[in-house]
Structure 1
């Protein structure tokens, strides 16, 4: 053995040991952790009764905006059934944190708390930050920003006591009329969807949050909302494999922790009549688990949706979902009945004890991975300030700035003069907008106008007359509905007036709406400059003004094909 006589040898050895310990202390990816022996998981599993083992696979609905009686009823379900987790919907962050603390006291095994947070807590909770929709993110060219957003979403989820996000949405939205996915998708290009979804997922998982790619094998090309009925995917196996499944396959390779199954009938993959994919063993076990090699959590879409209960009522859907291979049954119509029927199926040897054991241990492993083996109540001190922090708000604006897509007119924007007489018009609103206010600070010789979505013809004619004296016309088209649909709800006369305005000289138009709405505005392509801004929110309006006033350069690219004029990937990157 060589003896080191150098005085630096011992400190270097200590440093090496510390670095090694530090590296080993870093959290192992969830998928990798599933092959490890886990004494906590084994111990908890052994202590559970047969009924409560099944109950670990059931996640029930929770709200904080439905009153005390509703909250108490959920608490009673937790106390009586000892379910595995909760899925929180509408409410407020402080109320939710308090309720999580209350509910966790009722659970013998800590509850796994999940939410739909495709654009962060703001998707469900008031008084929280809403990050951009995934369609908006699809326009961003710097995926590091999306990774950073994922990290912030993870921090905010964990701060309110949630450990699992039913996101990202990895559907390829290749149907502009899709009523349920649409702006929730990163776009219609499978490669872009995969890259953006993986960046978002990796950011969240690096922050210790479980993630769930949805809705396998792909809900993007449907015209039926599975909340209301059962959609059908009539495509060939080759088409589904090469297009719809592509982002999920890539996410699985990248180590995503969960996959949510859609309620869709897919004859090419399972010929059983009217069978939703959620209940299909050939799709879940055969394709997702066996062919694609997915080892993580398989989560059903909500089991209360019409897409699954219409043809399989009275708890039959729950049993079939269990038999098909789902690890987590989300939002059963009746969790008590579901537990009873699944146990009955097991007594009839429809599923083996080993299969149940593997699934329950997978759920328990997820609880261990997020730290529930050392559960601590949510600290509600400074909760609002912590989740509405300044860096997160700045990141929202940064994402908006990077998403705005200049479809035409960079030369006109360069020529805009701050001193010329400028009309600042917002359409679809009844009051001054942040867009107009911000532009007014730059264009000092300007006048604001606003046009409601149902403006009378007489008022339109008066406005057009008034605009003849202006050198520059800068327009915002606003969809003020809660969610941005593919078609604007403007009257046909207002849509015709947009075409008239677009044909005037030196006209700049920003569309604060779903990009598909551009297809329903024939003539808008004649505008001197056109910006796709994706959503109505203030941060997007501010981002557009920054480009128009030459504070920043446009960098976004269209994530979907709108029409023959504006196709996927278009966008002038300003220099």
Structure 2
């Protein structure tokens, strides 16, 4: 009977354990639940072969935008390899709910279905709302709003049949040139990162979702993307302990259910040449598990990334990650090969029986805690209206309102004369925006201007001459790229125009872009008033108009240090 778990046995076992264990599972955190006996976990474990136990540690990739042949190939892997979970990427919400149900039907042991949902399911799925990026959230002073966001995202996950979110990011982004964390971080203040990360994951966990803080021990101070190469963290053990590890330590103490380990070479923590932290037993077992006393799930970052495969090819990375202490291996290059190699390592006694058993039972316990022992298919009707529900949109607007940060100015320099001749100038976008349209209603004697990224120098010069005729100017600066990087893709002529306009006597500048971009716009600090809004979204554009017109006060604080003018914590509070 090894390798086969009859469905009738699952049903009988679930019925017998449901009433005595279900209430406990819902009232106890995942980490706390690990200390309790669990008959379901023991029964499933006992019925699996060694190979199937290893397979429980593997999560494979899934999409709903790659066609039927791809979907069928994933189902084949589920049936043949009997992997433990899925990681969904791009696709649509309704399609994903339906495909999740199909995959769960194909699995003998229920799958943990996961996703990177740092700003909600919209990080991967089309046609659904997006919550603000974590840097935007880093400006917010009321962390109860972030807890509520965690709850909302948790409900979205459950509605789609997801049990695990690879979030929040708890890296401290203290390197403006960071190409991979950056706006995904709450900022460069370790205390702010810890508090907001805890609020976010507690909101999700209290909705029954497994969470995964990432990327331990901290991916914020690097200028190398571990998707493409192996970053090196050259810092001392003391620095890493007091700074990078701080948010993770606080999160663990607050009941975090999972930690994702980064692909980084950290000589101060592991002297082995070119060894990524994902493959480091001194880092994962020695520091995370032993020193920090973390008892939850340890998840590798994607094992297909160059940061881990560059120096450990052909499946060696999977074996080393397993031996280092990871409980879940995410996105192996070849899971079938990896399972065979790990089985060989077990036969060679490279890991104790007790440690191997603990890994597998921890994954099974996570399935039990997430409700998979009494699994029910995800409803496939009205998925989109549920995700895009009015209360979720209202919360996004609340978050946006709370994030607007006034870097410079006062009531007089911000709220300009509504009767004066006013120019409202969009820069970096070649169309009218909600900010421009809504603000113009408050300034009836206004003219709207648009400066695209390709506007010619002659047109820019002519516009500058024209704009000098106006009594006051509102400038709005946009980053239209999918992800808001640290430097705007503007040419020098457009940057010169911004500096010239900011120097005029009555100018209000609002930046709907990564806060770091302000450092690359010399002269912008001369604006009479300057607002940081962190990203280009309709909600933040509406929030900025509310601040400018006095409907709400600017409450945000800058979560990162931009330059000497605007260090971390900058934020003018109006009376």
Residue number in structure 1 paired with 2:17 = none
Deviation of the 1:26 alpha carbon:
4.9
Residue number in structure 2 paired with 1:379 = 379
Residue number in structure 2 paired with 1:234 = 234
Change in 2 beyond 3 A, CA 1:415/1:298? closer
- Is residue 490 of structure 1 aligned with residue 512 of structure 2? no
Deviation of the 1:325 alpha carbon:
0.3
Residue number in structure 1 paired with 2:4 = none
Residue number in structure 1 paired with 2:404 = 404
Q: Classify the secondary structure of the residue corresponding to 2:299.
A: strand
Q: How many residues align?
A: 555
Residue number in structure 1 paired with 2:532 = 532
Please list, as runs of the form range in 1=range in 2, the aligned pairs for 1:154-165 lying within 5 A after superposition. Answer: 154-165=154-165
Residue number in structure 2 paired with 1:107 = 107
Deviation of the 1:412 alpha carbon:
3.1
Deviation of the 1:472 alpha carbon:
1.4
- Is residue 140 of structure 1 aligned with residue 143 of structure 2? no
Residue number in structure 1 paired with 2:169 = 169
Q: Classify the secondary structure of the residue corresponding to 2:267.
A: coil
Change in 2 beyond 3 A, CA 1:413/1:546? farther
Residue number in structure 2 paired with 1:77 = 77
Residue number in structure 1 paired with 2:475 = 475
Please list, as runs of the form range in 1=range in 2, the aligned pairs for 1:261-276 lying within 5 A after superposition. Answer: 261-276=261-276
User: In structure 2, how many angstroms separate the alpha carbons of the residues matched to 1:493 and 1:25?
Assistant: 61
Structure 2 segments unaligned to the other structure (5+ residues): 1-20
Residue 25 of structure 2 contacts residue 33 of structure 2 at CA under 8 Å; is this kept in 1? no
- How big is each residue's C-alpha offset from its partner over 1:12-37, in whole Å with a ceiling of 9 and x where there is no partner? xxxxxxxxx99968521111000000
- How big is each residue's C-alpha offset from its partner over 1:101-142, in whole Å with a ceiling of 9 and x where there is no partner? 110011001000010011000111011121000000000000
User: In structure 1, how many angstroms separate the alpha carbons of the residues matched to 2:37 and 2:563?
Assistant: 54
Deviation of the 1:465 alpha carbon:
1.5
RMSD: 1.2
Deviation of the 1:574 alpha carbon:
2.1
User: In structure 2, how many angstroms separate the alpha carbons of the residues matched to 1:348 and 1:374?
Assistant: 37
Q: Classify the secondary structure of the residue corresponding to 2:468.
A: helix
Decide which moves more: 382-391 or 482-491. 382-391
Change in 2 beyond 3 A, CA 1:404/1:229? same
User: In structure 1, how many angstroms separate the alpha carbons of the residues matched to 2:414 and 2:527?
Assistant: 15
- Is residue 194 of structure 1 aligned with residue 197 of structure 2? no
Residue number in structure 1 paired with 2:256 = 256
TM-score by length of 1: 0.95
Residue number in structure 1 paired with 2:116 = 116
Deviation of the 1:50 alpha carbon:
1.1
User: In structure 2, how many angstroms separate the alpha carbons of the residues matched to 1:194 and 1:328?
Assistant: 24
User: In structure 1, how many angstroms separate the alpha carbons of the residues matched to 2:415 and 2:47?
Assistant: 74
Q: Classify the secondary structure of the residue corresponding to 1:469.
A: coil
Residue number in structure 2 paired with 1:439 = 439
Decide which moves more: 412-421 or 44-53. 412-421
Residue 120 of structure 2 contacts residue 131 of structure 2 at CA under 8 Å; is this kept in 1? yes
User: In structure 1, how many angstroms separate the alpha carbons of the residues matched to 2:105 and 2:411?
Assistant: 63
User: In structure 1, how many angstroms separate the alpha carbons of the residues matched to 2:353 and 2:392?
Assistant: 46
Change in 2 beyond 3 A, CA 1:39/1:24? closer
Q: Classify the secondary structure of the residue corresponding to 1:484.
A: coil
Change in 2 beyond 3 A, CA 1:24/1:260? closer
- How big is each residue's C-alpha offset from its partner over 1:217-236, in whole Å with a ceiling of 9 and x where there is no partner? 00000000000000000000
User: In structure 1, how many angstroms separate the alpha carbons of the residues matched to 2:415 and 2:564?
Assistant: 27
Residue 413 of structure 2 contacts residue 506 of structure 2 at CA under 8 Å; is this kept in 1? no
User: In structure 1, how many angstroms separate the alpha carbons of the residues matched to 2:122 and 2:574?
Assistant: 31
- How big is each residue's C-alpha offset from its partner over 1:66-86, in whole Å with a ceiling of 9 and x where there is no partner? 111111111110010010000
- How big is each residue's C-alpha offset from its partner over 1:461-487, in whole Å with a ceiling of 9 and x where there is no partner? 110111122111001100000000000
Residue number in structure 1 paired with 2:423 = 423
Structure 1 segments unaligned to the other structure (5+ residues): 1-20
Give structure 1 regions of 4+ aligned residues with deviation exceeding 6 angstroms: 21-25
Change in 2 beyond 3 A, CA 1:74/1:22? closer
Change in 2 beyond 3 A, CA 1:61/1:25? closer
Decide which moves more: 172-181 or 452-461. 452-461
Residue number in structure 1 paired with 2:87 = 87
Residue 139 of structure 1 contacts residue 405 of structure 1 at CA under 8 Å; is this kept in 2? yes
User: In structure 2, how many angstroms separate the alpha carbons of the residues matched to 1:429 and 1:217?
Assistant: 38
Q: Classify the secondary structure of the residue corresponding to 1:340.
A: helix
Deviation of the 1:356 alpha carbon:
1.1
TM-score by length of 2: 0.95
User: In structure 2, how many angstroms separate the alpha carbons of the residues matched to 1:433 and 1:236?
Assistant: 47
Change in 2 beyond 3 A, CA 1:190/1:228? same
Residue 412 of structure 1 contacts residue 528 of structure 1 at CA under 8 Å; is this kept in 2? no
- Is residue 318 of structure 1 aligned with residue 318 of structure 2? yes
Residue number in structure 1 paired with 2:30 = 30
- Is residue 348 of structure 1 aligned with residue 343 of structure 2? no
